Amino acid sequence: MKVAIAGFGIEGQANNAYFLSQGHDITIVDERELLPTDLPYGAQAMLGPGIFEQLDGFDMVVRTAGLSPFKIKTDGKVWSGTNEFFAKCPAPIIGVTGSKGKGTTCSLIASILKAAGHTVHLVGNIGDPAIAKLESIKSNDIVVYELSSFQLWDAVRSPHVAVVLGIEPEHLDVHKSFSDYVNAKANIASHQTPKDIVVYNALNPYSIKISRESKGSRIPYQHDKAAHVADGYFWFGETKLCKTEALLLPGVHNLDNACAAITSTWKWVKDGEAIGRGLSEFSGLPHRLKFVRSVNDVAYYDDSIATTIGSVVASLRTFEQPKILILGGSDKGADYNELAKEIIQYDVPHAVLIGDEASKIEKALKKAHYETVTNLGSDTTMEAVVQTAASLAKSGEVVVLSPACASFGMFKNYVDRGDQFIAAVNHL
């Protein structure tokens, strides 16, 4: 079969290796003329702007996750590594989607399952490209798959257990509209069978909407008939499991993530001791509201992955102390007027604004009568940003990098932004 591998990043390289191993005639296709990695020896390639619209003549075009299926013009079949994995995986799959919290919830799920003695494969956005792990997966293993809207865009199958966290506007710089984003997410449940399960956030209207796409059992988390928190304990229905202290992650939102994880693993793990051990053995992912250090009785937290309004609000709710908030970056389609309405409800003595969106955020904050703003714009460094925040913070306060924006422009990605923040704090 003549196969085009569309996009040659990390996932594209995994797609190439897999389909090449299947004996297909492979051509690597990418709009970039200069790729960040060398092409395999002897590989056929089609490179350059607009090339994704010139793919007639291929039996199959395998797109990388970040490439919209709408950009591909071909008379063949458009496919993805995600679709191939779902078609061939011999083990049950727990798939997790949502606007924020996917990585943390996936990690908690994997940790609980491992604590109960299961062999677990963590794949997708948080782990290895799923297709690269396919040959090592056995039928009695369990796969935990972090699924973004990009991976779900054209999914034709759904996981055995679908977990739908809170949904809010995200990636609107890539998706045609918020409806397109929600419709992509809905594929996590829309192809389920009556034997499958969807675990969903019953307080989020979009999560509820997606759950209704499923033909399987619908189970809300943080509900008295599933995993929930009461009296300092995690419960499942009327079964007391373990103390909430077992969860080492701060914030009410992480209690929600833990409840989603417990509910989604209940089919396999009903032992409160194992659940508590699984929760306690995970201490958090990098750049997700991670404590960096305290300097002069001011605590610094890296929440660089917080690129939506909801994730910023979650970080604000975590701390009772006054918060110096570092906001801004590049555009992801967020409504800064909504952000401003949220910020004025919390104890935020000062906001330090950075990046291309700084002036838009400042305008929205001042419209909401929030005046204590320092706008550093894009012509600055993270060292200067942290120094500014440190000069504004008083003893007993916290400084939180929780940007509500993408990182591009000033930084390579959210990891680079978080790493630079950590380095700057350690230089104080």
**Confidence at residue 80, expressed as pLDDT on a 0 to 100 scale:** 97
Q: 347 and 251 share a domain? A: no
Same domain, residue pair 327 and 360: yes
At residue 333 the predicted structure's pLDDT band, cuts being 50, 70 and 90, is: confident
Q: What is the rounded CA–CA span in Å between residue 254 and residue 259? A: 8
Q: Are residues 100 and 247 in the same domain?
A: yes
Band (pLDDT 50/70/90 cuts) for residue 284 is: confident
- Residue 296, in any domain of the structure: yes
Give the domain range for residue 299: 290-426
Is residue 174 very low, low, confident or very high in pLDDT (cuts 50, 70, 90)?
A: confident
Could you tell me the pLDDT band of residue 342, with boundaries at 50, 70 and 90?
very high
pLDDT at 175: 80
Q: What is the mean pLDDT of residues 86-100?
A: 97
Average pLDDT rounded to a whole number, residues 133-158: 96
Span of 1-15, 34-48, 231-245 with lowest mean pLDDT: 34-48
Residue 160 · residue 92 · CB < 8 Å:
yes
Q: How confident is the model at residue 381 (pLDDT cuts 50, 70, 90)?
A: very high
Same domain, 357 and 387: yes
Q: Are 45 and 147 members of one domain?
A: no
pLDDT at 286: 85
| Structure confidence at residue 176 (pLDDT) | 81
Domain stop point among 80, 99, 131: 80
This prediction's pTM: 0.85
User: At which residue do the structure tokens 């051509």 appear?
Assistant: 27
User: Across residues 291-296, what is the average pLDDT?
Assistant: 96
307 and 375 belong to one structural domain: yes
Domain count, the chain: 3
Say whether pLDDT at 73 is over 90. yes
Kind of pairing between the strands at 227-230 and 233-236? antiparallel
pLDDT of residue 115: 98
In a domain, 285, yes or no: no
Provide the CATH number for the domain around residue 360: 3.90.190.20
Claim to verify: residue 262 and residue 313 sit in the same structural domain: no
Domain boundary among 59, 80, 101: 80
What is the mean predicted confidence (pLDDT) over 102-107? 95
Per residue in 237-266, pLDDT tens? 999 999 999 999 989 999 999 999 999 999
Provide the CB-side half-sphere exposure for 117 (13 A, CA): 5
Least confident of 101-115, 259-273, 331-345: 331-345
CATH code of 16's domain: 3.40.50.720
- pLDDT exceeds 80 at position 170: no
Specify the pLDDT at position 32. Answer: 93
* Same-domain check for residues 313 and 402: yes
The confidence score (pLDDT) of residue 362 equals: 97
Higher local confidence (pLDDT), 250 or 276: 276
Would residue 205 count as lying in a domain?
A: yes
Long-range contacts of the stretch 131-137 (C-beta < 8 A, 24+):
131/11, 131/14, 131/15, 131/18, 131/81, 131/84, 131/85, 132/14, 132/17, 132/18, 134/18, 134/85, 134/88, 134/89, 137/89, 137/90, 137/91
Q: What is the mean predicted confidence (pLDDT) over 324-352? A: 94
Q: Is residue 170 part of a domain?
A: yes
Is residue 419, in this structure, part of any structural domain at all? yes
Are residues 56 and 202 located together in one domain of the fold? no
Is residue 10 domain-resident? yes
Q: Is the pLDDT of residue 197 over 70?
A: yes
Please indicate, yes or no, whether residues 272 and 321 belong to a single structural domain of this protein.
Answer: no
Band the pLDDT of 268: cuts 50, 70, 90. very high
Question: How large is the average pLDDT for residues 216-223?
Answer: 97
What average pLDDT does the segment 121-136 reach?
A: 92
Lowest mean pLDDT among 5-19, 43-57, 70-84, 168-182: 168-182
Query: Above 70 in pLDDT, residue 91?
Result: yes
Say how far residue 188 (Cα) sits from the centre of its chain. 15
The domain that holds 105 is classified in CATH as 3.40.1190.10
Within this chain, do residues 73 and 140 fall inside the same structural domain, yes or no? no
Q: Is residue 256 part of a domain?
A: yes
pLDDT at 172 over 70: no
Q: Based on the domain organization, do 357 and 406 belong to the same domain?
A: yes
Q: Does the pLDDT of residue 344 top 70, yes or no? A: yes
Domain boundary among 47, 80, 113: 80
